[in-house]
Amino acid sequence: MSNQKFSQERLMNILLAPQISEKATYVAEKNEQVIFRVASDASKPEIKAAVELMFKVNVENVQVACVKGKQKRFGKFMGQRKDWKKAYVCLAPGQEINFAASEQG
């Protein structure tokens, strides 16, 4: 595991939430990947180290996508949601993260 070069506090703040959706479930089943909402300044090595530290699994690779915030109308005013970043984390064969089991414990 390669999380020695990053500070423990920084790694704990990288992963914001798992992305739970139909697409995320499909990707998890088909490609053995898990999708996380991550800090917008996080790098791929930091994301890998954070997942390995928090879930005790081996990560093969990380793909990152920046999601643009949607334009929203509030009455006559236009606003915009914040841009955010999501990470597709590919786990080593035979490894999995079960969010339902980890929440109960």
Q: Where are the domains of the chain?
A: 8-92
Best CA proximity match to 55, nearest among 9, 6, 10, 12: 12
What is residue 105's predicted lDDT score, i.e. its pLDDT? 42
- Digitized pLDDT (tens) for each residue of the chain, 105 residues in all: 555 688 889 999 999 999 999 999 998 888 889 999 999 999 999 999 999 999 999 999 999 999 999 999 999 999 999 999 999 999 988 888 876 665 544
Burial class (CB in 10 A: 0-12, 13-18, 19+), 46: buried
pTM: 0.82
The CATH classification number of 8-92 equals 3.30.70.330
